[in-house]
Copies of this chain bind each other. A is one copy, B any other.
């Protein structure tokens, strides 16, 4: 236990060759002439001593860490409120490990403006970072970018050339709304997932309006309410909508979690989903399937988002010529019962 670490030097000695030869054999360096006999002796010595090259020394020599950092700017509650982030993380580390990279997980404590994630790249803990929850006013981000740091964002920043991977929020919201339109609804309300300070909220609202416009329906701001991540906010928003003189026949709620509260509000006034009010959510959280009624919603390519982010970042790190550095991933409509698509007749 307290015995010294086995180094390539030890292997060399046992095999009766130089350390250089050991390196050549074990790394299988192409173009190096090594006799079959020596090769065998080195392998045998390494096996016998249970030799494992030291990753730190290797990094030092290579000038590369083979590590990517995953920086989480959102608060824990927000990031892990649903299935989403874990899946992103999973996709990320899958892509990383497929290319021989490791993943450093670095959540930023809420309210920490000291720019701790700068250290990740300044001190070379990682070769690059995937940054989730970017903010436009992030000066640190611009700074390290200017210094040549490799960064990929998860989510977009308006008017920026920083590489990113994002989910097609506009397209998804449009799809959700069109689904309701196709089912015959004309008076369709919307409850956002969060305040409009969040780009995703703005995008989903834009998609909703786009769908209405495409079908020639007048967009009416009195039918738009603002959620705030929580079921409570959905409950409040829906009550507000129900109190209107002209009740909507369908609501697009841009977050399944928020939709949960909306359903409760509808039930509480004695109305039924989807018979009286049809509902489409967004996110496809794991329990959407088991809600009462099962929620029609938009599924996000969470795994793909993480995978794509890591993949893009690693290509940037490797210095490959990357022609497409801003990627938008398609969403998918999952039809269940809450939208009324499975009702035999619509009046």
CB distance from A277 to the nearest CB of B (A): 17
CA distance A115 to B202 in the complex (A): 46
Stretch in A56-64, A130-138, A154-162, A175-183 with 4+ CB within 8 Å of B: A56-64
B80 in contact with A86 (CB, 8 Å):
yes
Q: Which residues of A272-329 have CB atoms within 8 Å of chain B's CB atoms?
A: 285-287, 289-290, 292
Evaluate contact between A90 and B106: CB separation under 8 angstroms.
no
Measured between alpha carbons, how far is A302 from B322 in the docked complex, in Å? Answer: 41
In the bound assembly, the distance between CA atoms of A227 and B322 in angstroms comes to 48
Query: What's the Cα separation between A290 and B263 when bound, in Å?
Result: 10
Bound Cα distance from A70 to B93, whole angstroms? 12
Listed stretches A22-30, A33-41, A97-105; interface member: A97-105
User: Within the assembled complex, what's the spacing in Å between the Cα atoms of A292 and B291?
Assistant: 9
Q: Is the CB of A102 within 8 A of B93?
A: no
Q: Assuming A57-B60, A286-B81, is B107 touching A106 (CB within 8 A)? A: no
Partner among B52, B103, B286 whose Cβ is within 8 Å of the Cβ of A105: B103
Among A119-127, A163-171, A185-193, the one that faces the other chain is A119-127
- Inter-chain contact A80/B81, CB cutoff 8 Å: no
For the complex, is A54 an interface residue (Cβ under 8 Å from B)? yes
| Chain B nearest Cβ from A272, distance in angstroms | 14
Q: Is A264 an interface residue (CB 8 A)?
A: yes
Q: In the assembly, what is the distance between CA of A55 and CA of B53, in Å?
A: 18
A interface residues, tally (CB under 8 Å): 52
Chain B residues with CB under 8 A of A94: 107, 109
Given known contacts A93-B106, A105-B104, A290 and B83 CB-to-CB distance under 8 angstroms:
no
What B residues does A57 contact at CB under 8 A? 60
Do A60 and B56 have beta carbons less than 8 Å apart? yes
Q: Which residues of B contact A260 (CB under 8 A)?
A: 287, 290
A58 CB, nearest partner CB in chain B, Å: 8
Assess the B286–A264 pair: CB atoms within 8 A: no
Write the nearest CB–CB distance from A57 to chain B, whole angstroms: 6
Provide the residues of chain B in CB contact with A90, threshold 8 Å: 76, 80, 107
Say whether B55 contacts A124, CB under 8 Å. yes
Contact A119 B56 (CB under 8 A): no
A231 within 8 A of B: yes
Check A106–B103 contact: CB distance below 8 A: yes
A87-B93 contact in complex given A104-B104, A260-B290, C-beta closer than 8 Å:
no
| A264 (CB) vs chain B CBs: closest residue | B290
Contact of A147 among B1, B103, B107 (CB under 8 A): B1
A65 contacts which of B56, B58, B107, B124 (Cβ < 8 Å)?
Answer: B56
| Interface contact B287-A70, CB-CB below 8 Å | no
Is A102's CB under 8 angstroms from B104's CB?
yes
Residues of B within 8 A of A59 (CB): 56
Question: A89 contacts the other chain (Cβ, under 8 Å)?
Answer: yes
Q: Which of A1, A2, A55, A65 has the most B CB atoms < 10 Å from its CB?
A: A55
Closest 8 CB pairs of A and B: A1-B148, A80-B86, A52-B122, A55-B123, A105-B105, A56-B59, A287-B287, A103-B105
10 CB < 8 A contacts A-B = A1-B147, A53-B123, A60-B60, A76-B86, A80-B86, A82-B286, A102-B104, A103-B104, A231-B290, A261-B290
